[in-house]
């Protein structure tokens, strides 16, 4: 039995039957992290002491017979969720020594469910990036080929799952940061509806776009994690107060008669032949399962990149203004005066990509430019959301590629920010519209690199995505493959 490839349900069953203890499973992953992390750089912080203590508590809880489906399961979390008493860096020099005095709602709920948190995973600095190369702690590396990026910004979480350094992980998605690295590492990544999961204790990049979600080996595992994470939180003013359905029930449904829209704009110039072929084969699979695949159009799609890179940097500029060297975070040495402390602390504490986005955001919010850029971008955002609303009134969900290409080489796009930004061209619109979406493995290219397909659903209809995703994974074995 290969412990590193266990599903969450199988691992939970072994723990309940006492065939395996949480301490044994946790020690296995801690040893594996020690062996593999120096090469892959998936983790920034490993909490060995805390993980083993949580595992012991989980074993005691299971012995009493009062565990949950997550009790004793070793997970990893992206290093932007505040964890009380455990360093939270956001992969930035600005916060490289920050130890939060409170717990995020996501990690609190996971801990209350009995999950074991192994540590905090690598990411692009403040979640700003598409390759995990902007991290102050160095890039995470794709386990399918360590010379290549795992995608970003949740690259460390993707690597940890794909390489078997945890059973599952939590990421965040602002413009594709769960789905894009999931596609590039051959795992399943779910971005829920905006507001479905609390953002309290999540260090903010762009507050109207950020959303947490599960990164797993299968749709079934994603459903299990989502069940524990979803739900209203009074500590988050954007949290949706709606009933959380049983996502396990969605896994038993079928796709016979399901209407799947195929947007023409997502199969245009820029898509590699390998990705196009794999996604078209996936469409054939869905047809064979009884789904109807219907061509349609999302005409505002070409405006996604410029709209996102006005709105997201504007919100980042506002959110990151608090990092000034005064109350917490990095402070420069021997400042001459207050102005010097502000300027040098921010210049030395932030990396190049973060500073680029802060400057861009400050510019589009400045007097004389606000109407020309920020206000106009918000109007286009409304048009993009209207496109989705019109399309999803005709079909149950949409099917697209997740990324235009497979994992690229580390360093390949560092000198061309626009080319890097285009890595998220198929995922950004979903965040602008606040919709749920999931990325599933659907094939490999000639270099044996994973390819992902994306399913996009109506607001709060994660169950439909899980139904379709489960049916696809029962009919294929792409999600069962693992890097050597």
The catalytic residue positions are 78, 153, 177
Cα separation of 248 and 68, whole Å? 14
Tokens of 471: 């049916």
Q: What is the H or E stretch that residue 190 is in?
A: strand 188-191
DSSP 375: I
Under 8 Å between Cβ of 231 and 243: no
At how many degrees (to 10) do helices 376-394 and 304-319 cross? 120
Buried b (16+ CB within 10 A) or exposed e, 262-274: bbebbbeeebeeb
Q: Which residues contact 375 (CB under 8 A, 6 or more apart)?
A: none
CA 123 from centre of chain = 10
Bridge partners of 397, per DSSP, are 260, 457
- Pair of tokens at residue 444: 């490999």
Question: Phi then psi for 296, rounded to 5 degrees?
Answer: -155, 180
What DSSP element (H or E) covers 355?
helix 352-365
Specify the residue for token string 């794709």. 142
Taking the C-alpha atoms of residue 220 and residue 196, their distance in angstroms, rounded to an integer, is 18
Helix (DSSP H) and strand (DSSP E) numbers for the chain: 16, 11
* Whether the Cβ atoms of residue 161 and residue 185 lie closer than 8 Å to each other: yes
Q: Which of 90, 76, 44, 82 is nearest to 169 (CA)?
A: 76
Return left, alpha or beta for 457; rule: phi > 0 is left, psi -120 to 50 is alpha, else beta: beta
Q: Which two tokens stand for residue 9?
A: 């349900």
Instruction: Report how far apart the first and last C-alpha atoms of the chain are (Å, whole number).
Output: 16
Which H or E run contains 295?
strand 292-296
For 387, list phi and psi in degrees, rounded to 5.
-55, -50
For residues 400 and 304, give the distance between their C-alpha atoms in angstroms, rounded to a whole number: 15
Which residues, including other chains, have CB under 8 Å from residue 280's CB and lie 6 or more apart?
A: none
Cis amide linkage into residue 153, ω under 30° from 0: yes
| Tokens representing residue 465 in the block | 């995505």
**Rounded Cα–Cα distance for residues 469 and 271 (Å):** 22
What count of residues does the chain have? 484
Element holding 64 (H helix, E strand):
helix 48-64
């Amino acid at each position: 039995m290969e412990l590193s490839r266990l599903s969450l349900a199988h691992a939970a069953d072994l723990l309940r039957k006492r065939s395996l203890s949480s301490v044994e499973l946790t020690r296995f992953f801690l040893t594996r992290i020690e062996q593999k992390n120096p090469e892959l750089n998936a983790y920034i912080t490993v909490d060995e002491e805390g993980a083993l203590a949580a595992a012991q508590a989980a074993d005691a809880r299971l012995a009493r017979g009062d565990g949950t489906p997550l009790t004793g399961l070793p997970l990893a979390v992206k290093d932007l969720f505040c964890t009380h008493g455990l360093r939270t860096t956001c992969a930035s020099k600005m916060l490289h020594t920050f130890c939060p005095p409170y717990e995020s709602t996501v990690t609190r709920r996971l801990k209350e469910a009995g999950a074991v948190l192994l540590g905090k995973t690598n990411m692009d600095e403040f979640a700003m990036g598409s390759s995990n190369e902007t991290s102050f702690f160095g890039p995470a590396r794709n386990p399918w080929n360590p010379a290549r990026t795992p995608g970003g910004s949740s690259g460390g979480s993707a690597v940890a799952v794909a390489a078997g350094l945890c059973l599952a992980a939590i990421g965040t998605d602002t413009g594709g940061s769960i789905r894009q690295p999931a596609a590039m590492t051959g795992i399943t990544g779910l971005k829920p509806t905006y507001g479905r999961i609390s953002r309290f204790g999540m260090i903010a990049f762009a507050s109207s776009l950020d959303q947490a979600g599960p990164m797993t080996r299968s749709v079934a595992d994603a459903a299990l994690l989502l069940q524990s994470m979803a739900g209203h939180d009074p500590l988050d003013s954007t949290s949706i107060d709606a009933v959380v359905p049983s996502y396990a029930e969605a896994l038993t449904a079928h796709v016979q008669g399901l209407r799947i829209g195929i947007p023409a704009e997502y199969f245009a110039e820029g898509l590699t032949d390998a990705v196009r072929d794999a996604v078209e084969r996936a469409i054939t699979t869905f047809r064979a399962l009884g789904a109807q695949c219907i061509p349609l159009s999302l005409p505002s799609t070409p405006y996604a990149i410029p709209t996102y890179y006005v709105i997201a940097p504007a919100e980042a500029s506002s959110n990151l203004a608090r990092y000034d060297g005064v109350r917490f975070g990095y402070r420069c040495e021997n400042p001459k005066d207050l102005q010097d402390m502000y300027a040098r602390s921010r210049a030395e504490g932030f990396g190049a990509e973060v500073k680029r986005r802060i400057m861009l955001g400050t510019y589009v919010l400045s007097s004389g430019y606000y109407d020309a850029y920020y206000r106009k971008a918000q109007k286009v955002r409304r048009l993009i959301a209207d496109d989705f609303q019109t399309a999803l009134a005709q079909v149950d969900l949409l099917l697209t590629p997740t990324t235009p290409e497979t994992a690229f080489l580390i360093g390949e796009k560092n000198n061309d920010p626009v080319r890097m930004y285009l890595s998220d061209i198929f995922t950004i619109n979903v965040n602008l519209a606040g919709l749920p979406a999931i990325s599933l493995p659907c094939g490999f290219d000639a270099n044996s690199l994973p390819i992902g397909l994306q399913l996009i659903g109506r607001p709060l209809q994660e169950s439909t995505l899980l139904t379709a995703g489960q049916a696809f994974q029962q009919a294929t074995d792409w999600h069962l493959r693992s890097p050597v």
